[in-house]
Chain A
Amino acid sequence: MASPILDVREISVEYLSRGEPARAVDQVSFELMPGEFLGVVGESGCGKSTLLFAIVQLLRAPAVITGGEVIFKGTNMVQMSEKVLRAIRWRDYSIVMQSAMNALNPVTTIGAQYADALRAHQKISKEAILDRSRQVFELVGIDPVHLGSFPHQLSGGMRQRAMIAMALLFSPELIVMDEPTSALDVVAQRALMVQIKELQRELGFAVIFVTHDMSLVSHFSDRLAVMYAGQFAELGATSSVFADPMHPYTAGLLDAFPSVYGPKVYLDGIPGAPPDLANPPRTCRFLARCPKAMTICAGPAPEFYELAGRRVRCFLHDPAGGSDA
């Protein structure tokens, strides 16, 4: 029985401000097994990117981790010093950002940046640098001649793949990705996702993939977490979540995607807006927009119940009580 590579326990992140601090991530917990592909879906403001940055300890003021632990390979990263973090960063885990143009240095060649990354962690010869750089380029399907190119000389899709290649330099066990395909067009997105999945199968790393596009991640993730207002609303195997969404928000989200092939039906979306995270309601956070609200929902918020390997934060699935009208 393998043990999880990542164990996030009750992590909370607040954005400090002059007024009330806003709790962008509210006691989120989950485990990630080695080689697992976890998709985290949610809309803007739900806290998914903040959660990601909290996990890899890259939060910047005014965002601050105010509670919880992130146990990566047995050690709590929240308490690690920057020195220790720098040693394991990129080596044991790496990050792929939303836009390559934000992550890659525009004034040096790609090859030079790979060399920098490699040298930062170990003494390494020029040949070894070249070898490894070529290897990762091959993995993602870019002609090694582009090691001498500047980022702006590559197309959008190639840049993203160059970023992914950079994340693979040390064969890390975990790669976190923050919407890496959102800047690409539909065709390039599809190709990149297929590539990521193939690499994952081949090299065996775990992935946490944050996105607002549920349909994109649906074909590639093993498990899916749906995030709303700083909390996980639902967590479970992707196929189960899609076939049988338990939380009304998940169901609403699935329904908000007009289909290309299915029957044409009138869709409602989910009218309304998420609650103010500086003053979250005591009740279930989805209450104001929920089509299935019951009287019990007006009381204290539900727990993150567990049923048959899935978890959901909704009274509809409270294993203890029945569902009240």
Chain B
Amino acid sequence: MPEPASTEPAATATEAPLLETTALTRHFRIGGLRGRVLHAVDSVDLRIDEREIVALVGESGSGKSTIARLLAMLYKPTSGTIRFRGSPVADLKARSDLLAYRGQVPMVFQDPFSSLNPAHTVSYAMMRGLKLHQPALTRREREAEAERVLETVGLVPARQSLVKYPHEMSGGQRQRVNFAQALSYRPKLVLADEPVSMLDVSIRVGLLNLMARLRDDEGVSVLFITHDIASARYVSDRVVVMYAGHVVETGPTDEVLHSPVHPYTQLLLSAVPDPRAPIAISSADAGGPPRVIDPGEGCRFRWRCPLAVQACSQVTPRLRPSSAGHEAACHVTAP
């Protein structure tokens, strides 16, 4: 049933998160006679409140995309729970319940060139989504709503965009269509999986501004998954840093980026090329894929960490508070 776009003011941030995960884990069996297991996501506690943008930052192999797919119910967790508004998502069995969840937590994909079906117009995609998630509307009302959200995301005039095919639009325009689709469901939380990584730089900022508007004007939370710290800083309220399937640091964005605690966060920050920052050639950490196949106990960053001590290879560090709302998982810097 259609709800007004702006919700009541959020309860105090410490109560009733919009979405939270507890020890969320996802493993994949990969081939080989030894039956090896890929630990894509291990024991992740995540929390997203109303009207906030949380940036999930990490490199490829960190598990951030897997988290998005777990939250979108494209994968089932190997263990752990996901709670949306207090109720476990695993309890949703009836088709109507699942559909309701999908309307509340839609996803925007990374690649604007493959996330829209090339055989269908924008109108088809929008109308399908509305048919599924706002079934009470008449056809006229659906058309009006489709136009409204297209204009909200900046595709003006909406009528023109509705009749276009994906190949007639630029990457930026396609991503706006994707956001419009998500918005038309009147969601509470949009999962945005690297929504700007494949767009030109001059266009990215426009979409980041759009996400901020969604939070401010439409009351929608966004889980913004990215590998680009600068974009994370520009638009997010809180940041969660992941490495090799684990959360290594989390807290208010400005706080974490200003005073990073975990060595990986520090490494990431030092490696970001910023034309306005003074030229600093950092030490030659060659990077390298994180070890997620049968990793065993212990901190997964220890092979690259300049501060590693013996405890790091024996015990997996847990997130511990370092200051208000700021946590890090490191035996050395956050014991």
Q: CB atoms of A and B under 8 A apart anywhere in the complex?
A: yes
Does B202 lie within 8 Å of A252, measured CB to CB?
Answer: yes
- Closest chain B CB from A153 CB (angstroms): 12
Contacts of A117 in B (CB 8 A): none
**Contact with A273, one of B170, B201, B204, B273 (Cβ below 8 angstroms):** B170
- Chain B 210-238: CB-based contact to A (< 8 A → 1; otherwise 0): 00000000000000000101110110000
**Contact with B288, one of A155, A218, A252 (Cβ below 8 angstroms):** A155
**Contact with B231, one of A156, A258, A273 (Cβ below 8 angstroms):** A258
User: A residues within 8 Å of B by Cβ?
Assistant: 43-44, 141, 155-158, 184-191, 194-195, 212-216, 218-219, 242, 252-254, 256-262, 264, 266-271, 273
| Contact of B269 with A by CB under 8 A | yes
Which B-chain residue is minimally distant from A266 (CB atoms)?
B209
Extra contacts besides A187-B286, A259-B274 (15): CB < 8 Å = A155-B288, A185-B59, A185-B287, A186-B59, A187-B287, A188-B287, A188-B288, A195-B284, A212-B200, A242-B275, A258-B233, A258-B234, A262-B277, A270-B202, A271-B206
- Closest chain A CB from B21 CB (angstroms): 25
In angstroms, Cα B282 to Cα A214, docked, is: 19
- Closest chain A CB from B306 CB (angstroms): 13
Does A216 lie within 8 Å of B273, measured CB to CB?
Answer: yes
- Closest chain A CB from B214 CB (angstroms): 16
User: Would you give 14 A-B contacts (Cβ < 8 Å), ordered by A?
Assistant: A156-B289, A157-B286, A157-B288, A185-B60, A187-B268, A188-B286, A189-B271, A194-B281, A194-B284, A214-B201, A257-B275, A258-B208, A258-B233, A260-B274
| Contact of B203 with A by CB under 8 A | yes
Known: A260-B230, A264-B234. A214 touches B275 (CB 8 A): yes
Which A-chain residue is minimally distant from B258 (CB atoms)?
A261
In angstroms, Cα B322 to Cα A227, docked, is: 46
In angstroms, Cα B170 to Cα A195, docked, is: 36
Contacts of A195 in B (CB 8 A): 284
- Closest chain A CB from B210 CB (angstroms): 11
| Contact of B276 with A by CB under 8 A | yes
Contacts of A141 in B (CB 8 A): 284, 286
In angstroms, Cα B204 to Cα A256, docked, is: 8
- Closest chain A CB from B120 CB (angstroms): 22
- Closest chain A CB from B333 CB (angstroms): 19
Contacts of A270 in B (CB 8 A): 202-203
Which A-chain residue is minimally distant from B62 (CB atoms)?
A185
In angstroms, Cα B267 to Cα A185, docked, is: 12
Contacts of B287 in A (CB 8 A): 155, 157, 184-185, 187-189, 191
Which A-chain residue is minimally distant from B273 (CB atoms)?
A215
Chain B, range 227-258, C-beta contacts under 8 Å to A: 227, 229-231, 233-234, 257
Lowest 8 A-B CB distances belong to which pairs? A188-B287, A269-B205, A258-B234, A270-B202, A185-B59, A187-B287, A43-B200, A215-B273
Contacts of A186 in B (CB 8 A): 59, 227, 229, 268, 271-272
Does B274 lie within 8 Å of A261, measured CB to CB?
Answer: yes
Chain B, range 163-214, C-beta contacts under 8 Å to A: 170, 172, 200-206, 208-209
- Chain B 91-103: CB-based contact to A (< 8 A → 1; otherwise 0): 0000000000000
Contacts of A187 in B (CB 8 A): 59, 267-268, 271, 285-287
Does A191 lie within 8 Å of B285, measured CB to CB?
Answer: yes
Does A212 lie within 8 Å of B274, measured CB to CB?
Answer: no
In angstroms, Cα B270 to Cα A187, docked, is: 9
In angstroms, Cα B59 to Cα A158, docked, is: 17
**Contact with B277, one of A213, A214, A261 (Cβ below 8 angstroms):** A261
| Contact of B279 with A by CB under 8 A | yes
